Amino acid sequence: MRIHIATDHAGLEFSTDLQAHLRSAGHEVVDHGPTVVDPLDDYPSFCINAARAVVADQRSGIEALGVVFGGSGNGEQMAANKVLGARAALVWNVSTALLARQHNDANLISIGARQHTVDEAKLFIDTFIAEPFSGEERHVRRIAQLAEYEATGLIVGHEID
């Protein structure tokens, strides 16, 4: 599987370790930056580029997912979710990694590098990658509603104030 990774300065050390871990598991890893520690770096472009690449790969039929990192993971998740078709979930334990895939068909996860050890992050990522989307009708319907809202600003049959 192709895994797109992006971070900010707080997650750069995590990113390096996790890329090696993912490559050793047989995944193709694409690093969207940064490449050097800069406490003043701006993470949005890195995370948006990773999310755009995941969405483009999936639309082309390439099996791909993404992982973004930051101090808390919050801003990185927000940046990734600005990309049409991206469904980035903030993951902080194994359960949230499982549910991100099972219920939300998330195609990216965000992890707070200052909140977890590298081993915890590896576990979350491995769990996320291994877990398939359930395909349950209720989840398919809800994901379709999110996509509809992204595209039109409406959800047919549901009132949006």
Mean pLDDT for each consecutive 10-residue tract of the chain (161 residues)?
A: 94 90 98 84 94 98 97 96 97 98 98 96 98 98 96 91 79
pLDDT value, residue 36: 80
Beta bridge partners of 134: none
pLDDT of 14 reads 84
Report the predicted TM-score, pTM, of the whole model to 2 decimal places: 0.95
Question: Residue 31 pairs with which residues in a beta bridge?
Answer: 5
pLDDT at 55: 98
Active centre residues (catalytic): 76, 103
What's the pLDDT at 41? 82
pLDDT at residue 6, rounded to an integer: 97
Are the beta carbons of 62 and 54 closer than 8 angstroms? Answer: no
Q: How far apart (Å, rounded) are the C-alpha atoms in residues 108 and 103?
A: 13
Cis amide prior to 132 (ω within 30 degrees): no
State residue 37's pLDDT score.
78
For the chain, the maximum distance between any two Cα atoms, rounded to a whole number of angstroms, is: 49
